[in-house]
Every structure is written in structure tokens, then in C-alpha cells.
Amino acid sequence: MTDSLESEIKSLIVDALELDDVTPNEIESEAPLFGEGLGLDSIDALELAIAIHKRFGVKIEASDAGTRDIFRSVKTLAVHVAATRA
């Protein structure tokens, strides 16, 4: 289940953040989204949170305790979305 969700999230990242130089297949599921990984910043996190809310109905607040862990990688995002929707 999470493999297809991970693929959907990868496509969402590319589309929502308008990453012209990255394809969904180039994003590794366990690579960090911020810093050395994909190199996203806090504005990207906000835009991604909005896109996730629109697509999956899952709200991720910046003030939530585990937000950093949720946004660690595509895999952690997929786990959170799957758990929240269930």
C-alpha cells in the first residue's frame, strides 16, 4: 500500500513544488527531503503540507509535535498519510 502512496507523494512533490529538474522516479523514498537530500526549505514544507491536505485530506500543522519526523522523507510522509486516513 505504501509503495503506491509513496509514488503518488513523489509526483505530488514534483507537481506542487514545480521541481522542473527532478522527476518523481529520481526521488528516493528514504532520502531526506530537507538539507542534503532533496534540498527543500520551510516554504516548500508549507506548500507541500497544503498539497497533501488538498489531495489526501490530511492536515499537517507546523506546530504539531512530530512535524519534523513526518517530513523527514517520502516514506515517513506516506506512513503518516496512510495512518491518518485509516
Counted domains in the chain: 1
Query: One digit per residue, pLDDT tens: the chain, 86 residues?
Result: 568 999 999 999 999 999 999 999 999 999 999 988 899 998 999 999 999 999 999 999 877 778 989 999 999 999 999 999 87
This prediction's pTM = 0.91
What's the CA gap between 1 and 47, in Å, rounded? 25
38, 52, 55, 54: which is closest to 80 by C-alpha? 52
The pLDDT value recorded for residue 35 is: 85
The pLDDT value recorded for residue 1 is: 53
Helix (H) or strand (E) holding 7: helix 2-16
The whole domain housing 57 covers: 2-85
Residue 20 maps to which CATH number? 1.10.1200.10
Q: Phi-psi category of 50—alpha, beta or left, where left has phi over 0 and alpha has psi -120 to 50?
A: alpha
